[in-house]
Structure 1
Amino acid sequence: MEERKVVSIEDRIPKLKQTRRKKANRRLILYLSILFLLIATVVYLQSPLSNVNKVVVEGEQHVSAKEIKQLSTITTKDNYWKIDPGDVEKAVEKHIQITDAKVKRRLPGTVIIDVKEAERIGYIQEEDKFQPILENGTKLKASATIPTGDAPILYGFTKPTYLKEMSQELKKLPDSITSLISEVHWKPEEDNPYRIILYMNDGYEVVASIRNFSSKMPAYPSIVSQLTKENKGIVHIDVGTYFEAYPKQSKEDKSNDEEER
């Protein structure tokens, strides 16, 4: 038979004490680490290190980044972690030209404000100035800046109701179609107050109606592609769809025009 090795209590006590001491030390180190971390967090939150160090604006076009930052009211004195993105978004969206704002944080200390502006669908000329028109028909303050061709110039829209409807119709058009339009003139008739005439960048005229403008205008490129470059005239898309060529000038008229030039 094998003899069992008997360990006395006296021999086991030092080992038990050593094991307990190691556990106690590990527990103490853990508590001290947690305490140190809490103290460091409090110190960090109370120090300038936790403040915003940069505000970045993205997506702006006509509204300046400076103005958007002012609307947000965020400064480098604000605590980075105490900023409420929802409150900042609501403050920025109060601007008449901004339809949507998203706020996000990026370490270390950067706040990003991504905005979406209301589309400018046209301009109304007032003497030597141009008044931008937003997609909802709102008029902005007139500017001396000449439009860069990003939207057509609107003439004759003296009644806000028709201007608003025209704005909504232009908003529905794809950019590829809007870029072809140079001018839009409101030319109401007694039996058709929605009649408009468009002057296109390629030299054609278009007679249309505000009411069905966005549904019929996309067919314009297909219509003019079937015409020759010399055959300029008026494209009617108000009731039916047809082309009306300009009257041909006589040789005498052409010579008179050349003399006038």
Structure 2
Amino acid sequence: MSRDEKVVSVNERIPTLQEKRRRKANKRLLSIVIVFFFLIMVLVYFQSPLSEVNAIHVEGNQLLTEEEIRQASGLSEGMNIWNIDKDQRINQVSQLKEIESVEINRSLPSSIHIQVEEYPRVGYVYSDEGYLPLLQNGQILDTVHESQLVGDAPILVDFEDEETRAMIGEQLTNTAPEIVGRISEIIYTPTEEAPEELTLYMTDGVEVRTDLSSFAEYMQPYPQVHAQIDSSRSGVLYMKMSPYFKENETAEE
């Protein structure tokens, strides 16, 4: 190939190379412009009402009102949704004695969801002022009067300290709901011979004696044991390791 032919070949390729460089430069410029506008939009979003909380949803609450949970969280409409410290807010809601667990999540563009799980209400502690709802964790709530009782849990009598309340709360939680639903009243009646003894009055009219720390285990067979009792006989049913029934003349203390 002659020298002139080589020069012509290179000259023919120059426009193609220039076009490729121009297209590459245009793509780079377009990418820069897109990134620039994206950053502008992000800046506008953070500075505009679009990033402000306009709704706070509370779910899972029964004992507490939505307003009580919102106040505990410290969240309010108008706050910047991205400036919220979720861990701090979760810790604040967790201070409520009714709360077992809580989750807080952002729901774009401008909503906050608070999902709570409350300790179940397992009984009502009797007091001179009224009835104190007892939670599974042994905490008691504000007094409700007899007219406000909903019959969803037994009445607890003489459970004076938090430890025994926590124990009966845990035991009731681990007891089958159909059995708990048949309990009208539980009285803490310890003796020297039976330091953990409980006296139960059932909705079916039976008086039961059992132990605090083994309550859930000992009460499990109650329906089957009760079915074997002659309803015409009056006495006390002992739900212990081995259940047995004593008629009144032999059950008196």
Q: Which ranges in structure 1 are unaligned for 5 or more consecutive residues?
A: 248-261
- Residue 176 of structure 1 corresponds to 178
1:16 aligns with 2:27: no
Q: Indicate the larger mover: 201-210 or 143-152.
A: 143-152
- Residue 207 of structure 2 corresponds to 205
Equivalenced residue count is 244
**CA distance in structure 1 between the aligned counterparts of 2:248 and 2:96, rounded to whole angstroms:** 46
Question: Is the partner of 2:195 in helix, strand or coil?
Answer: coil
Q: Indicate the larger mover: 55-64 or 181-190.
A: 181-190
The alpha-carbon deviation at position 159 of structure 1 amounts to: 4.7
8 Å CA contact 2:50–2:109 kept in 1: the answer is: no
Q: Call closer, same or farther: CA 1:164–1:29 in 2, change over 3 Å.
A: closer
RMSD: 2.4
Query: Deviations along 1:53-103, whole A, 9 cap, x unmatched?
Result: 211111101011111011111112221122222222111101011111111
The alpha-carbon deviation at position 170 of structure 1 amounts to: 2.1
8 Å CA contact 1:194–1:209 kept in 2: the answer is: yes
**CA distance in structure 1 between the aligned counterparts of 2:59 and 2:162, rounded to whole angstroms:** 32
- Residue 89 of structure 2 corresponds to 88
**CA distance in structure 1 between the aligned counterparts of 2:162 and 2:37, rounded to whole angstroms:** 66
**CA distance in structure 2 between the aligned counterparts of 1:43 and 1:160, rounded to whole angstroms:** 54
Aligned structure 1 segments of 4 or more residues deviating by more than 6 angstroms:
none
Query: Deviations along 1:18-46, whole A, 9 cap, x unmatched?
Result: 22212111111111001110111111111
8 Å CA contact 1:130–1:146 kept in 2: the answer is: no
The alpha-carbon deviation at position 127 of structure 1 amounts to: 4.3
- Residue 191 of structure 2 corresponds to 189
Question: Is the partner of 2:105 in helix, strand or coil?
Answer: strand
**CA distance in structure 2 between the aligned counterparts of 1:184 and 1:130, rounded to whole angstroms:** 13
Q: Indicate the larger mover: 105-114 or 161-170.
A: 161-170
State the TM-score, normalized to the length of structure 2. 0.86
The alpha-carbon deviation at position 173 of structure 1 amounts to: 1.8
In structure 2, what residue type is equivalent to 1:39? Answer: I
8 Å CA contact 2:225–2:243 kept in 1: the answer is: no
In structure 1, what residue type is equivalent to 2:137? Answer: N
- Residue 250 of structure 1 corresponds to none
Question: Is the partner of 2:184 in helix, strand or coil?
Answer: strand
Q: Which ranges in structure 2 are unaligned for 5 or more consecutive residues?
A: none
In structure 1, what residue type is equivalent to 2:156? Answer: L
- Residue 155 of structure 1 corresponds to 157
- Residue 50 of structure 1 corresponds to 51
1:108 aligns with 2:135: no
